[in-house]
Every structure is written in structure tokens, then in C-alpha cells.
Chains A and B, each alone.
Chain A
Amino acid sequence: MMKAFTKLTGTTIPLDRANVDTDAIIPKQFLKSIKRSGFGPNLFDEWRYLDHGEPGMDSQNRPVNSDFVLNKPRYQGASVLLARKNFGCGSSREHAPWALEDFGIRCIIAPSFADIFFNNCFKNGILPIVQSERVVDALFKACEATEGYQLTIDLATQTITTPDGETFSFEVDAFRKHCLLNGLDDIGMTLQHVEDIKIYEEKRRVQAPWLFV
């Protein structure tokens, strides 16, 4: 079952780069795993560590890049990620949202996202929020200036609230919102329409019988 997303108040990390691709989020060598979990320690591996990461390494003993924002003590335990435009471009790997989720990120706020990544987030209990460049920029500035900066995201009311009490509303597709709020996975939803699928299939079997041999 997917984790539901209702309301979240969390420490916010500002990742100040545009066009962050899925290879940067989780490098290809970690795609050899057959599991869905355990990718958190290798999130942004090439930026986070000074050595070259390979699966099976103990991340506790690796040299850490203390300049990288994820490693700063003030952002430990964060659950909201601020990002720049075209976040998640590149491949279709769902390992990218798995790594983010495993690390503890439940919400990403950016001016734009790549299509397949955006879609993949919703399937993993992560809420990607599109905000204007101007709002995202303001959040970046406030977050960097304020230690312990926490944003509150309320999916039901579709609002982001800053520590000062300022609120921004956001758009979200009605179907996706419903699934996230209730922690419903798509498969369970689709299987409520088994009859429709069967009816379609019968029709198709008559029209295009060569597809069913």
C-alpha cells in the first residue's frame, strides 16, 4: 500500500540547481538492485560523497562532501525539498522517487518537473508541487536565511504555509489528490473496473483477433 499524504510540517532543504536528472538523483550502478527500498543512503550519491559509490558499500564509512546541502547539519531530518526547474529529467527509473522517499522526502517544490518523474512521485506517496519561479525563489531565500525553516503542506486545502504564516495555494490533479489523501494505489482503483476491462478485451478480440493468439 502507498503511504497516504495528508498534512506535513517538515524541515526544508534548498537544492539550488536546475535540470537535476535522474542519474544525479540515483546513479545507474544502484539500479542493479532488485529491491524497492534502501536507496536513501545513495540519494545524490555523486554529490554527497567524495569517493565513487558502488552498491554494497557501507555509507557510514564513506568520505562525505560537507559542502553539499544534504550533508549540512541544519537540514538533517528534512522532508521537504526545494528544487529548480525541470527536476527529474532523463530516464524513467522509479529508483529516483524511491531514493527520495527512503531518505525521508515527502514533498518537492519546483517551478517544473520532467513528465515521467512527476508521475512516478505520486505513485510513491511523494507530492510534487509546481510553483512559479518567483515563489520558489522566495522560498529558497527564506529557507537559506532561516535555520530550522519548516514548511507546512496541506494537501486537502492545497496550501503551503511558511513559518511566518504566509500561504501559497497550489494545483493538483483531482484523481491524484484523491489517491494520495487516501493512500490508494492505482492498481486497486483500476481493479474496481475489471468488468470494463473484460468488455473492452472481448470487443478487441473480435476486431483484432491477431493480438490474442
Chain B
Amino acid sequence: MTAKTLYDKLWDAHVVRVDEGGASLIYIDRHLVHEVTSPQAFEGLRLSGRKVWRSDANLATPDHNVPTTDRQSGIADPIARLQVETLDANCDYFGITEFKMDDIRQGIVHVVGPEQGATLPGMTVVCGDSHTSTHGAFGALAHGIGTSEVEHVLATQCLIQKRSKSLLVSVDGEVNAGVTAKDIVLAIIGEIGTAGGTGYAIEFAGEAIMALSMEGRMTVCNMAIEAGARAGIIAVDKTTIDYVKGRPYAPQGDHWPMAVEAWSDLHSDADAEFDKVVHLSAATIKPQVTWGTSPEMVIAIDALVPDPANELDVVKREGMEAALAYMGLQANSPINQVMIDRAFIGSCTNSRIEDLRAAATVAKGRKVARSVKQALVVPGSGLVKQQAEAEGLDQIFIEAGFEWREPGCSMCLAMNADRLGAGERCASTSNRNFEGRQGQGGRTHLVSPAMAAAAAIAGHFIDVADLDSLSTGAE
């Protein structure tokens, strides 16, 4: 038998049929559903008189549009409210389990799936959202789809797909203290670029990746799409299995040992060949901050904002100049002197319990700088919120001057009321720093939770390690 990559194993295990032209019909084990990309798919089913093929393979929750403040009074925006109500009605009608807005299990779909054990090793997982790549952290083949494909999965439990090429990104050795999963993935994107993974499924590997917790692995896979790849995957090991065990949708009883046995093969064979291989040395990675309007425009916290004059490629140089103008930054200025207006800790990249713990460790006993207008903490799900409150993290945040919110996407894309004003600068733990992403004219800098908390305290970007030597003036 020839050696296989993890991607090959996952793909081969899900092929239903291959047609003459080479397009494959792939079986989908788990379909996650949210309010924004599903209404038209359900409507399509109704119009054509089709049924949901396997309602138990679907799991739904509203996330993009939900308010993160007072839930009692419902959603103020009537159009957003109708969208969430439509999801509720569709799930009820088609018999799909949904964690509704008032359910403690509600949250960002990419936080909820793994938390429930609804994302399992060896699965194919899809959702009408590009950050579905997150679920690849479990050794699952997971990617985002459009609404027509949402309808296709609902009706047939399958998708028509073409095999991707394989890219191995290996982060070798150990990271230094204070360097997190977010810094690793930003450094990877800085290295390979936002189109570096286009057409590939990326397998993340190496000591630094396998040393990460599941939360950290999800952060890395979440941003595979920002490197141009629809899917990111990580091999299954003890960390994966320990995380999954005992979760509500995880295999129970006799099924558990069967599943663990089956999952033991979910890694690339030692001599498997990849179409492309990239190595990074973990020890060289420092805490990262993006400076521009694309995730690849990223530098270390102790670096200077790059100078377009040093860029030889004309298209790139123009892109850098436009980004600096939009971001209101000077070339060659130290990034750690850039002042922020707001901080946002949340999103499907960084709103899990470990992310909140990391931010709380920084916030503890300190105060948000007076110059910062708002520092938001938005947990990824109701259960994350509950856990954080049980650990007293909410009190740490509130005492430090952060706002403690209800779970949802929030300021990650600003579809609800949480958003940046024009020209406002934000230290954000989300995944996209595109123009206008967090509000028209808003300026987003992507960072880790610890770095976002540190920036909120200092009022400007700062290496967490330097926070102690700083007099915040807040006492």
C-alpha cells in the first residue's frame, strides 16, 4: 500500500462515487448551520419539494446577527430579527437540532461544534462559512461552502468536489514563552502569503503545532482560509482524544473504544508525499501584530512598520501604500508605539476558554488605559461564558474596565451593533483585517488574546513581557 497523507485518508474514506469527468461525490458527516447563509437554502428545498436527507447530521445556532448585550429584549434590528426567526422556523420545520438564542449552548458555530463533540476526528464537516476550516484541528476534513452547497448538503448529504493539492506546513521546535497559536498562524501567513495555500489543503505539523492545546490548534486551522486554503488539518493524537472524550455528541459506551481505534490512523504516513512543504522554525516566532489590510501584512511586536520604498514588486508596493494610507500609519515607525481606540477579544479564532484565560491573566489587577474608548470581551458560546464566570474571569475583566458580553460574532464582522467608527483603531483577536471589516473606515490590527489585553491596558501595542515595566497611569 502506498503511503498516504492525512488529507488523502480523509478524502478516500468519503468518496461515494467518481464521475467520468473526475468530479467526486463526497459524503458529509456533519453540517453546521447558521442564520446568514441558510435561509435561501431552506427556501430552495421547500420550492422544489425536497426533504432534508439526514436531519441528525445537522446542527444549527444563530451567531452572526445576535446582540451581545441584553438578550431579554430580543433583537432590535427588525431585519436581523427576521433572519434569526427564519432559522428557528426552518430548524423546527425540518427537524434540525438548533441551539436557539436563549440556549446556554448557543454561540459561534465554530466554537459550538467542537465544544459539543459534534465535530469529531475523521469526519467531513461543512458549513456556509469560510472559517469552517477551524474544525480541521480535530483531524477532520472541514471547509466552507456557499448557500447552493448548503442546500445540496441538506438535500443529499453530499457535495460535488475536486481533490485539493496537499501542502505541509511544519513548525519545528518549541516556541518561546509568550508566543501563542495566533502568533504562530500569523507568522505562517506572513511567510506563505494570503494566496500561499490557494488550491491546497494545508496540514499543520511539527513539534510546535503538536504541543498546542485543542483551542490553539483550532486558532491555527481557523486561519487556514486566510492563507488561501479552504481546509487546514492537524493529525489526531492524545490531546485530540482527551478533548473529545465525554462531550455530549462524542461516541458513548462501546462506541468510544471503537472510535478511538479508528482515529489512531488519522495522521500522514511517515513517507507520505506532499505537493509542497514549508518549514518554519518555532524559536524565531515572536508575538505578531498586523499593520495592513490583509492578514499577510504582519510583523513582530518589536518591529517597524515596513517601508513600501523597499518593495521591488510594483503591485505589492502599491498595495502597501494603499494599506498604510487606510491604516493611517507611517512607514518605519515602531508598531509598539501605535495607540488604539478599542480592543476586541472574541471571534471564532480566539473566544474559547483558554483564550479568555490568557487575556484575563494579563488583565488581572490592571486597568484599561483611559485613552481606550472600549475594550470588549465576547465569549464564543454560552458554555464558554459560564465556564469563565465559574473561574471568576468575568470579574477580572470587569474590574479592569473591560465589557463582558453575551456570545456571538460581534465586532468580528460588525453585523450587529458592535462596530468601529471611521478611523478608529482596534486591537482585535479576530481573523480579517480587510478594509471596513469591523465597521466602515475602521482600522483592524490582528493579535492574540494576550496581546489584545495588553494593548488595552497600555493604550498601545506592547509585548506582554514589557507590561510590568510600564506605568499605566491608571492607578
Q: Which residues of A contact B (CB under 8 A)?
A: 18, 21, 23, 27-29, 31-36, 46, 52, 55-56, 86, 90-94, 115-116, 119-120, 123-124, 173-175, 185-187, 189-191, 193, 196-197, 200-201, 204, 207-213
Q: Which residue of A lies closest to B45 (CB)?
A: A187
B123 touches A190 (CB 8 A): no
- Expressed in whole angstroms, the minimum distance between the Cβ of B120 and any Cβ of chain A is 7
Partner of B146, one of A29, A46, A92, A213: A92
B255 touches A209 (CB 8 A): yes
Q: Which residue of A lies closest to B437 (CB)?
A: A23
Cα-based distance from A55 to B82 in the complex (angstroms): 13
What 19 additional pairs, Cβ within 8 angstroms, besides A36-B40, A190-B160, A197-B158?
Answer: A28-B414, A32-B65, A52-B440, A92-B37, A115-B199, A116-B144, A116-B145, A123-B149, A174-B21, A185-B148, A186-B148, A187-B152, A189-B160, A197-B156, A201-B27, A207-B262, A210-B259, A212-B56, A213-B252
Q: Which residues of B contact A (CB under 8 A)?
A: 16-17, 19, 21, 23, 25, 27, 29, 36-37, 39-40, 43-44, 48, 50, 53, 56-57, 64-65, 77, 79-80, 82-83, 86, 120, 122-123, 128-130, 144-149, 151-152, 155-158, 160, 195, 198-199, 228, 230, 250-252, 255-256, 258-259, 262, 315, 413-415, 432, 434, 436-437, 440
B21 touches A191 (CB 8 A): no
- Expressed in whole angstroms, the minimum distance between the Cβ of A30 and any Cβ of chain B is 9
Could you name 28 residue pairs across A and B whose Cβ atoms are closer than 8 Å?
Answer: A18-B315, A27-B436, A28-B414, A31-B415, A32-B83, A34-B43, A35-B43, A36-B40, A36-B43, A92-B145, A92-B146, A94-B147, A115-B228, A116-B145, A123-B148, A186-B148, A186-B152, A187-B151, A187-B152, A187-B156, A190-B160, A191-B156, A197-B27, A197-B157, A200-B16, A201-B157, A210-B251, A211-B123
Cα-based distance from A211 to B57 in the complex (angstroms): 8
Q: Which residue of B lies closest to A124 (CB)?
A: B148
Cα-based distance from A93 to B120 in the complex (angstroms): 26
- Expressed in whole angstroms, the minimum distance between the Cβ of A14 and any Cβ of chain B is 18
Partner of A28, one of B16, B25, B53, B413: B413
Residues of the A chain whose Cβ atoms lie less than 8 Å from the Cβ of B157: 197, 201
A28 touches B415 (CB 8 A): yes
Residues of the B chain whose Cβ atoms lie less than 8 Å from the Cβ of A28: 413-415
- Expressed in whole angstroms, the minimum distance between the Cβ of A26 and any Cβ of chain B is 12
Assuming the contacts A23-B434, A193-B16, asked whether A210 and B80 have C-beta atoms less than 8 A apart, the reply is no
Most buried by B among A119, A211, A212, A213: A211
Cα-based distance from A5 to B133 in the complex (angstroms): 32
- Expressed in whole angstroms, the minimum distance between the Cβ of A38 and any Cβ of chain B is 11
Cα-based distance from A212 to B23 in the complex (angstroms): 26
B146 touches A116 (CB 8 A): yes
Residues of the B chain whose Cβ atoms lie less than 8 Å from the Cβ of A174: 21
Residues of the B chain whose Cβ atoms lie less than 8 Å from the Cβ of A46: 436, 440
A175 touches B27 (CB 8 A): no
- Expressed in whole angstroms, the minimum distance between the Cβ of A62 and any Cβ of chain B is 16
Assuming the contacts A92-B129, A211-B120, asked whether A190 and B77 have C-beta atoms less than 8 A apart, the reply is no
Cα-based distance from A211 to B54 in the complex (angstroms): 11
B17 touches A196 (CB 8 A): yes
Partner of A210, one of B77, B195, B255, B414: B255
A32 touches B79 (CB 8 A): yes
Cα-based distance from A190 to B414 in the complex (angstroms): 37
A32 touches B21 (CB 8 A): no
B413 touches A190 (CB 8 A): no
Q: Which residue of A lies closest to B39 (CB)?
A: A34
- Expressed in whole angstroms, the minimum distance between the Cβ of A174 and any Cβ of chain B is 4
**Smallest CB-CB A-B distances: 3 pairs:** A210-B251, A123-B148, A34-B39
Residues of the B chain whose Cβ atoms lie less than 8 Å from the Cβ of A185: 148
Q: Which residue of B lies closest to A31 (CB)?
A: B36
B16 touches A196 (CB 8 A): yes
A187 touches B155 (CB 8 A): yes
Cα-based distance from A72 to B144 in the complex (angstroms): 36
Residues of the B chain whose Cβ atoms lie less than 8 Å from the Cβ of A196: 16-17, 25
Q: Which residue of A lies closest to B17 (CB)?
A: A196
- Expressed in whole angstroms, the minimum distance between the Cβ of B203 and any Cβ of chain A is 18
Residues of the A chain whose Cβ atoms lie less than 8 Å from the Cβ of B77: 32
Cα-based distance from A123 to B24 in the complex (angstroms): 17
A193 touches B17 (CB 8 A): yes
Cα-based distance from A197 to B64 in the complex (angstroms): 33
A213 touches B255 (CB 8 A): yes
Assuming the contacts A33-B79, A55-B79, A190-B156, asked whether A208 and B262 have C-beta atoms less than 8 A apart, the reply is yes
